[in-house]
Amino acid sequence: MSNTHLTLKEFHEKHLKLGKNDVILDVRNPDEFQEAHIKGAINHPVSEVVHHIEELKKFDHIYIHCKRGGRAQTAFQILAGSGLTNLVCISDAGMDMWVSEGYPVVKG
């Protein structure tokens, strides 16, 4: 799979059908993640993603998102620059829009 982007709406339609070796990577800060996140997401803040490259290589697809899209794009660039090709960036929006659309979240 080549590096790609999805809109939040496209990702919402896809997120319930992710493969068992796909992961949602939330690159917000841990306190933001604790407030609300997408079920099944893992949290590695954008400043730390470079330390998780080996772990992330094992996934078929990594769906990267943040609060509004900026940090997701930064994380995407860092990971793509490190050679990962299993990346999908949700860069047009993030958790702010996810919550405002009424999509389901997990707290804590």
CA distance 4 to 30: 26
What are the average pLDDT values for consecutive 10-residue runs of the chain, which has 108 residues? 81 92 98 96 97 96 96 97 96 94 94
Please give the structure tokens belonging to residue 59: 């996934």
- Cβ atoms within 10 Å, residue 92: 17
Upper half-sphere CA count for residue 67 (Cβ side, 13 Å)? 11
Q: What domains can you pick out in the chain, each with its CATH number? A: 4-100 (3.40.250.10)
pTM (2 decimals)?
0.95
